[in-house]
Amino acid sequence: MTERFDAAYYRRFYGRRPVHNRRQVAHLAEGVVSFASWWRIPIRSVLDVGAGKGYWRDGLAATRSRVKYHGIDASQYACNRFGHQLADIAVWRPRRKYDLVVCQSVLQYLDDRDAAKAIGVLGMACQGLLVFDAPTIADRDTVIDQSNTDLDVYWRTGNWYRKRLTTVFMEIGAGIWLSRECAAALFELERAR
């Protein structure tokens, strides 16, 4: 059986016209860490779920060299090529908690049962902030460049994700969620709901 997330997949979706490039992810990483600093949430450790080409690792290394980074991915190719731990987020169990967990464009590849289990794992792994996104039905219909996006995924509503995420996280906004375990005090208008 051919691995779905092989070299051809990476050439197709991370080649000449990636949805997000290394520079954009570095900007996002710096922005998230800066917000964490504003909220007095120290970022000393990062778990990158579906780490792919390691853009978060590279972005953090450029300005936050003391941050301990751990990347996991379900792709044997990505793990071999980019140095991550091979892991399926639906069944993986973290050995520790992380100050920042990143899970971008991963859960749409899992069926409902495994995606819900994966959200539980994200909750177990996170003691600070979660950066989360997954393309939704509304995104597919209004935002996504369908010529450059893998459309062979499980399409769900944003509410499907929110319902499950809010059991362990509080939505801040812009794809950033606060672990319910975190003692950070955010003003009411800094939170999404």
| Sign of the alpha-carbon dihedral angle for 65, 49, 92, 94 | positive
Q: Span 105-111, mean pLDDT?
A: 97
* Domain ranges (residues) in the chain: 7-184
d(CA 38, CA 32): 10
d(CA 37, CA 24): 20
Residue type, 17: R
Segment 137-159 shows an average pLDDT of: 93
pLDDT > 70? residue 175: yes
What is the mean predicted confidence (pLDDT) over 143-169? 94
Over the Cα atoms of the chain, what is R_g? 16
pLDDT at 16: 72
Nearest C-alpha neighbor of 177 from the set 154, 161, 153: 161
Q: Looking at residue 146, what is its pLDDT?
A: 87
Mean pLDDT across 168-191 = 95
The CATH fold assigned to 7-184 is Rossmann fold (3.40.50)
Mean pLDDT of 137-150: 91
CB 119 within 8 A of CB 134: no
Q: What is the pLDDT of residues 88-97, one digit of tens each?
A: 999 999 999 9
The predicted pLDDT at position 1 comes to 39
What percentage of the chain exceeds 90 in pLDDT? Answer: 81
pTM score over 0.85: yes
* Strand arrangement of the beta sheet that strand 85-86 belongs to: 85-86, 68-73, 45-49, 98-104, 126-133, 176-179, 169-173
* Mean pLDDT value of segment 97-120: 98
**Average pLDDT over the chain, rounded to an integer:** 93
18 falls in which pLDDT band (50, 70, 90)? low
Residue 120: what residue type?
A: G
Indicate whether 106 pLDDT > 90: yes
- What percent of the chain has pLDDT above 70? 97
